[in-house]
Amino acid sequence: MRIEQVLKPVLTLAWRLGLRAGRCAVCAAILPEGGPLCPTCAQDLPLRTGGLCPACGAMSGRENDLPSLCPECRSAPPPWNELYFHGQYTGIMRRLIIGYKFHNRFERNRLLGALAVAAFRARPGSVPDAVVPVPLHDRRLIWRGFNQSLEIARGLARHQDRPLLVHGLRRTRNTPPQTRFGLKERQANIKGAFAADPALVRGKRLLLVDDVYTTGSTLRECARTLKRAGCIEVDVLVLARTVLD
């Protein structure tokens, strides 16, 4: 008997078992109870609910503290009400997002969507009228093949049973990646880079969605653009927030 003939039924069975049980979306361990994460990886993706500023997500060291506005947001509030996020942009969360965006790990779509929904549900807040993703410029969209913010927003809109406004915001020009710049340069780089469709956003309470909050420059520009077009309220949801404060 050839070795392939012996191996084939074993591999088929293993594949079936693996398929039925599900695999951890991070480390690919077989999960008898189903997915999406094994206990070890789930432990490394904690949902942050306390010790944070509800407007900009700045984190204090004490996770059990109730959310309270930070001094910056008290003196200069951002152009949105609440910032929802799942956790810090570090460890497994960072690896998941980088793999998703830059290494075609598109199968992580559902996991990242589930993390976004968990972040939104973790804090009391109003359900928006519609969900708007931060748009990518067409050129970068063609290069990457998908807009990560749109995919996260899609899962949220479905969960909230609210419309997804794919064209609520659009890029009016391509901008160099924000990661190259400091705060002041980021603000200048992104200024005037978006346009909103008043017919879609006027009079609405919107949930604006992006993958990562770093300095908030892009989200501020998007929220201001939406408000200039007549939207009455903006909340923001990102998967992760950097801890550079």
What is the contact surface with Zn ion in residues (CB under 5 A)? 24, 26-27, 29, 38, 41, 53, 55-56, 58, 70, 73
Residue 19 belongs to what H/E stretch? helix 3-21
**Residue whose CB is less far from Zn ion, 175 or 218:** 218
What's the closest the beta carbon of residue 5 comes to Zn ion, in angstroms?
Answer: 33
Counting Cβ atoms within 10 Å, is residue 19 exposed (0-12), middle (13-18) or buried (19+)? exposed
Cα separation of 131 and 164, whole Å?
5
Taking the CA atoms of 207, 244, 108 and 190 in sequence, report the sign of the dihedral they define. Answer: positive
**Residue whose CB is less far from Zn ion, 29 or 118:** 29
**Residue whose CB is less far from Zn ion, 54 or 128:** 54
Q: Chain centroid to CA 153: how far?
A: 8
What's the closest the beta carbon of residue 145 comes to Zn ion, in angstroms?
Answer: 26
Both tokens of 180, joined, read 């190259």
What's the closest the beta carbon of residue 32 comes to Zn ion, in angstroms?
Answer: 13
**Residue whose CB is less far from Zn ion, 60 or 189:** 60
What's the closest the beta carbon of residue 35 comes to Zn ion, in angstroms?
Answer: 9
